A and B are shown apart, each in its own frame.
Chain A
Amino acid sequence: MDHQTKQDQATSRRKFLKAPVVAGAVAGAVLSPGQLFAGTQGAIPSIRIPKEIPETLTEKPKDASFSGKGMTGAEVFAKLCKEEELAAMFCCPGNYTVINAIAAAGVPAYGGRTEGAMCAAADGFSRVTGEVTACSGTEGPGFTHMIMNIAAANSARTPLLVLASNMQIAGDDREQFIQIMQQQPLTTGIKKYGKRLIAPNRVYEYGTYAFRNLKSGVPGPVHLDFPGEVARARFTDASTLTDYYTKEKYRTGSRPHPSSKDMALAIEMITRAERPIIVAGQGVFQRGGCDALQAAAEKNEVAVVTSGPMRGHFPDDHRLSASLSPDALMSADLVVFIGQYCMPSPGEYRFSADVKTIRVHPEQDDLGRNWPLDLGIVSDEKIFLDQLAGNMPAKKRDAWVNELAAARKKFEDTNLDHYQLGLKHSAATDHLHPAVMAKEVHDFLYKGDIDPKQTVTGCGGWTSGIFAGRWLRANRPGQGVACGYQFGAIGPDLAMMIGAGAAVQRGVGPQAPYKGAPVLCITSDAGIAYSLFELDTAAKYKIPVIAVVYNNNSWGMWPSAVGSARSMHMYLFQENLRYDKMAEGLGARGEYVKSVGEFREALKRSYHAAATETVSSLINVQALKEFTSGRDYAPGIALPPEPGVGAFAH
């Protein structure tokens, strides 16, 4: 057996599970730089993880107490975070008192290279688990660096706790020392709730405000800023804190139930329809309604298409999935939106103008927004789906199921046509076409030895994201991330997937069966600039990420400059930049590919390193900017039909 065959076999899931992957703490493992980073000889020291990292990660949590010296305001807040099961915190140093207290309390904590990327990482962790996560940065510069990704989290309705220090109340309006600014106005419009804490004895009370908002109704970012007087205040007696009681008293788990009349009408409308379809939004995932959704859909043969910032809450490979059947959408005569928080307008989703509509939403005041309804139902998503599965009669819809299958075949055939064109272009130019890149990732993850339900993927970038979106699959809850969902930020992709990787590493929620598995991110050369340095963070915490970087030497929007004088230079980078070399400089592996054969081998090697050594890789896929344009290299790019695979607007 040759060496390569041995490597190939080592990439199987069975072998992978036997590998000594340690979730969570690094458990004392120190990278072996000689194995990971070639070219460090002589007097140049190798990249290595300092011993303090595994040491401090394996320390036991420290319980804060009112006795003795008492608790700081930061410790009071951290204790609340722990009791509320805050799933993880991603931060850069700054807001020291608070982040130290949260880490000491036992909340899994990660420190990275930029606050913006850490915010995206926290968002990514939440998108693949549904859990509340936090990000933190220092006052002023660190906080403002997070803004783009707070906005992205807001568009994605992520339950994200945004924390930042904010100097001292005593220095307000005096420009005392440095980094003075008012934070709360800056997050206006991109948060669900926010507060600058100004009364130290109300630190717990405002913490309860935060978690009440994060865990009730439609989620969204909550932003708290901590002046020093609050974070460093000391409390030796719980009675000095306002509203200091347990979570059962400051928020409720009670959820809205549909009325029996609404439920009966919904069942009648669905049963009477010939081609009903459920648009399963993020609320289905976040509220734990995936199993009920599948049961309801199967019972009455209702088609399902998923939407939202995460994917997989209905499996793409299910016969009733319409996520790969865009041409069937126009045939639907009834659409049932469930948990669709970011609501499209008619025309933005590919449904007939005459389609009847039911919308199920946990809050009454959003029903009827953007999309005219035939029936609006106030209900928790899971409760509605449970009742639907329980009360709806069984029904067969052979014609509808056959139409879904035919539309899926057409979609997949079109993808294959694009792949064949891409192969031709790749061979002719000695550069890799994005259709080939996307198809090869697809085959590697879903057609080979790896369990097709295992690998969590996410994609972004313009040309790269549009092609990848057609080929990435989500066959179980939390398996996919639409990195650019709704806000359309270019760049958070890798950081978001490192956050998702942290969730997989710990086996949180739906990631439990795949604990420790590698995650894969497809992004662009434009996008990677925003979060490349987080490969250091991935290495530090041994989060195995495979980053496929589509390098076309440009911003994907370069066609905007065509025909415009003195403009193109603004859209182009130096050609043939080596992101693989940059990755090596950050302690990850680097691969450089220009052909399909090279790419296949690079994927195998990268997966092997990720699965067996928890080492991340960056694969630089060298392409040409002209592949974006159908003028010379058909098919060019067309925005994906929505809803369905590749959708990112709603």
Chain B
Amino acid sequence: MTRAFLFRGLVLVALAALIHAQDNKTPLTVDEAKKLRNPIPFSQKSIKQGHGVFVRYCTSCHGNDGKATVDVVADATDLTAPKTWKNGTTEGEIFRSIREGEGASMPAFKGQIPQQEDVWHLVNFIISLWPEDMRPPLHDDK
């Protein structure tokens, strides 16, 4: 198998996963999620848009700061501490957790946040809460 063939194969797999992700009705598997890449660059603009989504759907369980320190909702994840996460920290895995729900408590948000783009912005916002040395470099909005 040549390197070019392998590369084309990977692109096709990623594309298939992305197409699959566009279909909200079909559950996204963990393996498919791992292959997903965020089509929206990690930028201040995207983080801001993600924050808007976060405020609407996430703060009641994860808190305004993402630390989930309010013990009212069952075992919500501290979004600022990815090393403690149980269900993966890749962009695709975060995307999947939001879309399909996670664990016994977190519901699926694919109904409430139907636009994939909004979920990806939210992924970027969540990553912006991580410790600085774990964050990817910021993409220039210009």
Q: Residues of A at under 8 Å CB distance from B? A: 330, 345, 347-348, 350, 352-353, 414, 417, 488, 557-560, 562-563, 628-631, 634-639, 641-642, 649
Contacts and interface: CB of A to CB of B under 8 A. Distances in A.
B2 interface: no
B9 interface: no
A350 B60 CA distance: 11
Contacts of A638: 57, 107, 109, 112
B101 A636 contact: yes
Interface string B54-96: 0111011100100000001111000000000000000000000
13 contacts: A352-B52, A417-B111, A488-B72, A558-B104, A559-B104, A562-B105, A630-B101, A634-B101, A634-B107, A636-B106, A638-B112, A639-B61, A641-B57
A417 B108 CA distance: 13
Contacts of A330: 52, 56
B67 to A, nearest CB: 13
Given A560-B74, A634-B107, A639 B60 contact: yes
A631 B56 CA distance: 22
Nearest to B56: A350
Contact of A629 (B59, B60, B61, B104): B104
A639 B112 contact: no
CB-based closest 8 A-B pairs? A636-B107, A559-B104, A630-B107, A639-B60, A560-B74, A559-B74, A559-B105, A629-B104
A560 B72 CA distance: 10
Contact of B103 (A345, A558, A631): A631
A350 B104 contact: no
B123 to A, nearest CB: 18
A562 B75 contact: yes
Nearest to A345: B64
A488 B60 CA distance: 14
A562 B107 contact: no
A637 B72 CA distance: 13
B91 to A, nearest CB: 22
Nearest to A414: B111
Contacts of B104: 558-559, 562, 628-629, 631
Given A345-B64, A347-B55, A559-B103, A634 B74 contact: no
Nearest to B111: A414
B112 A414 contact: yes
Contacts of B108: 630, 634-636
Contacts of B111: 414, 417, 635
B46 to A, nearest CB: 16
Nearest to A557: B74
A647 B66 CA distance: 21
Given A558-B104, A563-B75, A636-B108, 7 more contacts: A330-B56, A347-B59, A348-B64, A562-B104, A630-B107, A631-B101, A636-B106
Contact of B105 (A348, A629, A635): A629
B64 A639 contact: no
Given A630-B106, A634-B107, A636-B107, A641 B72 contact: no
A632 to B, nearest CB: 9
Nearest to B105: A559
B107 A635 contact: yes
A354 B106 CA distance: 29
A350 B107 CA distance: 19
A20 to B, nearest CB: 46
A483 to B, nearest CB: 16
A353 B108 CA distance: 25
Contacts of B112: 414, 638
Interface in B30-72: 52, 55-57, 59-61, 64, 72
Nearest to A556: B74
A330 B56 CA distance: 8
A522 to B, nearest CB: 20
Contacts of B72: 488
B103 A353 contact: no
A563 B57 CA distance: 25
A488 B103 CA distance: 24
Contacts of A563: 75, 103
Contacts of A560: 74-75, 105
B60 A562 contact: no
B56 A562 contact: no
B103 A562 contact: yes
Nearest to B71: A560
A348 B107 contact: no
A637 B73 CA distance: 11
B75 A637 contact: no
Nearest to B72: A488
A39 to B, nearest CB: 40
A636 B73 CA distance: 13
Contact of B59 (A348, A488, A635): A348
B77 to A, nearest CB: 12
A630 B98 CA distance: 12
Contacts of A630: 101, 106-108
Nearest to A641: B56
A639 B53 CA distance: 15
Contacts of A639: 60-61, 73
Contacts of A562: 75, 103-105
A559 B105 CA distance: 6
Interface in B113-135: none
Contacts of B109: 638
B71 to A, nearest CB: 9
A265 to B, nearest CB: 28
A347 B53 CA distance: 11
Contacts of B101: 630-631, 634, 636
B64 A559 contact: no
A649 B59 CA distance: 12
Contacts of B60: 348, 639, 642, 649
Contacts of B74: 557-560
B64 A347 contact: yes
A637 B112 CA distance: 12
A36 B104 CA distance: 42
Contacts of A637: 107
Best-buried of B52, B74, B111 by chain A (most CB within 10 Å): B74
Contacts of A348: 59-60, 64
A558 B73 CA distance: 10
Contacts of A631: 101, 103-104
A281 B135 CA distance: 42
A637 B106 CA distance: 8
Contacts of A557: 74
A350 to B, nearest CB: 5
Contacts of B59: 347-348
Q: Considering residues A631, A637, A638, which has the most beta carbons from chain B within 10 angstroms of its beta carbon?
A: A638
Nearest to A639: B60
Given A414-B111, A635-B107, A638-B112, A559 B56 contact: no
Contacts of B61: 639
Contacts of B75: 559-560, 562-563
